[in-house]
Amino acid sequence: MTLGRPEIQRLLAEHGLRPSRALGQNFVADPNTVRRIVRLSGVGEGSAVVEIGAGLGSLTLALAESGARVVAVEVDRGLAGVLRQVVAGLAVTVVEADALRLDWDELLEGAPRWALVANLPYNVATPLVARVLEQAPQVASMLVMVQREVGERLAAAPGDPAYGAVSVKVAYWATASVVGRVPATVFVPKPKVASALVRIERRPAPAVPAAVVAYDRFCQVVRAGFAQRRKMLRRSLAGVVDPAAFAAAGVAPEARAEDLGVEAWGRLAGWR
């Protein structure tokens, strides 16, 4: 069982709820879409899954249907109450919390390895993915539905138009790829943008070892480089990176931020 458009509209009406634009609430109203998300995520019988922004439970029900054990996080108190009713009797634990303020160790203490599967609200998608990669090593994989432009940035490679600081940060921790597109027509209410499905697989170890450069320093250099992405790196990184670092790292001073892969950023940031 999953929720279609009539069921979503009925639940909203019965409980006097309206989707919040501020919270980026767009509910998936297509059973085929949520089952596709579950299939692409690779979760199934016995999997431990955390879902962020569970809403009314469209995806939650599909995850439970696969045999996964689900922790569903929802910040909206009204929705969380309805969600508990929708998933009653299933292997689902509903947690009312702000995903950007979660204690991940406490939330995920029930299993050593988790998958995150979620229709992420557009306004928190990028910081949430970064936060999970940085703070929740128990999450080994993610399948997230996000705004198409956000998905392209998360998965972009050097030279891609969407490549930016967030692309490099994701590549530090994981590999990412866009594995599907989702039209706006499957949501209630219908958003003004299309969505993308992004699969993220955590690396066994970061792409740049801590022995090469500390993560904070790595991020500082990457941010500085992309803050003035049209400039050559020798200019955008002036005062941030010693000029001698370019030759030592094998990076041309005339290169621009979008030319460098994660390993090159690590060599440049780690030169001493």
The domains found in the chain, sorted by start residue, are 5-202 (3.40.50.150), 215-270 (1.10.8.100)
The model's pLDDT over 155-183, given as tens digits with 9 standing for 90+, comes to 999 999 999 999 999 999 999 999 999 99
Contacts of 142 (CB under 8 A, 6+ apart): 115, 116, 117, 118, 129, 132, 198, 199, 200
* pLDDT of res. 123: 82
Kindly state the average pLDDT of the residues 117-135: 94
Kindly state the average pLDDT of the residues 260-266: 98
pLDDT above 90: residue 24: no
The model's pLDDT over 77-117, given as tens digits with 9 standing for 90+, comes to 999 999 999 999 999 999 999 999 999 999 999 899 999 99
The model's pLDDT over 237-255, given as tens digits with 9 standing for 90+, comes to 999 999 999 999 999 999 9
State how far the Cα of 78 lies from the Cα of 72, in Å rounded to an integer: 14
Report residue 36: phi and psi, to 5°.
Answer: -65, -40
| Residue in 185, 177, 194, 199 with CA at minimum distance from that of residue 117 | 199
Amino acid at 83: L
Q: Residue 250 class from Cβ within 10 Å (0-12 exposed, 13-18 middle, 19+ buried)?
A: exposed
User: H/E element holding 72?
Assistant: strand 69-74
Kindly state the average pLDDT of the residues 53-81: 97
Confidence class of residue 22 from pLDDT cuts 50, 70 and 90? confident
User: H/E element holding 197?
Assistant: strand 195-202
